[in-house]
Amino acid sequence: MSTAIYSHPDCLRHEMGSWHPESPSRLQAIDDQLILARLDGLIEQRSAPLADTADILRNHTPGALALVRDHVPATPGDYYPLDGDTSLCHYSYQAALRAAGAAVAATDAVIAGSIANAFCAVRPPGHHATPTEPMGFCLFNNVAIAARHAMEVHGLERVAIVDFDVHHGNGTADAFRNEPRVLMVSFFQHPFYPYSDPEPITASQVNVPVPARADGETVRKLVQEQWLPALHAHQPQMIFISAGFDAHRDDDMGGMGLVEADYAWITRQVMAVAKQYARGRIVSCLEGGYELSALGRSVVAHLKVLAELE
């Protein structure tokens, strides 16, 4: 079995203005670094299909779906603002369906055993999108949709979501707050967008706020002391990763201090849990990461571990 990358050219067509940090150049930067690292020929490339509306509606309300679908501008070059950070262009709905479709297709392939794990190089990202509304650059919550698919279509009884973006995955937390089948573990810079109030650690939500300038040593300690005990207790049958790389020290979108080696280390810990309880089954989806060189290098570090090419 192998690692696959799911993506599609439609994910490059979504844009929110030339000034916007969540830009098509993010995927281009990843492709460039894969070529430089000579990984492009070692990892299978798969085309992301369009998600069905049924896939979206497992996690989102009809109103949330309609808000994106029905407000896409008819004319290329026009924008429809959803909030101060998030807009739709003519191609946004198609791109969002590809992003969610990648996560669903990767889930199917990993569960079927045709690949060992997958990385979805897609945009728009997803982890801020709540069940009722898009926000924070995110239209549909790709990881949450995939997790729902794994449980409702494939019958998995326990899954885990690991989120290492610098921002709190508030949409994912909202989706699964009362769902004991899903464990969410994360860290996030606090106080910081989306300005979520820290919540108590529970058996199903281990979302740990950290201060600005927190570095790899801080993150590794919380992973060992808080994430790993929760993951071992939950014994997930599949793990999904919200892979945001904006906690990198070079990324001025946030204020943390991680480097590529930290992302590789986190990925190794997650893989060890997946091998113990989940037959190695992992689907990782791109979230943040806005300093293009750091983003590309960090994705390469993540992929090398997933593909066991270190």
Residues assigned a catalytic role: 128
Q: Which two tokens stand for residue 167?
A: 């921002």
Distance CA 277, CA 265 (A): 19
Helix (H) or strand (E) holding 221: helix 216-222
Helix (H, G, I), strand (E, B) or coil at 2: coil
Distance CA 135, CA 138 (A): 5
Q: Which two tokens stand for residue 55?
A: 């896939």
Q: Which two tokens stand for residue 67?
A: 């808000």
Strand partners, 80: 88
CB 125 within 8 A of CB 25: no
Closest CA to 152 of 59, 50, 49: 59
Distance CA 34, CA 150 (A): 29
CB 252 within 8 A of CB 292: no
Q: Where are the alpha helices (DSSP H) in 75-128?
A: 92-112
Distance CA 12, CA 173 (A): 28
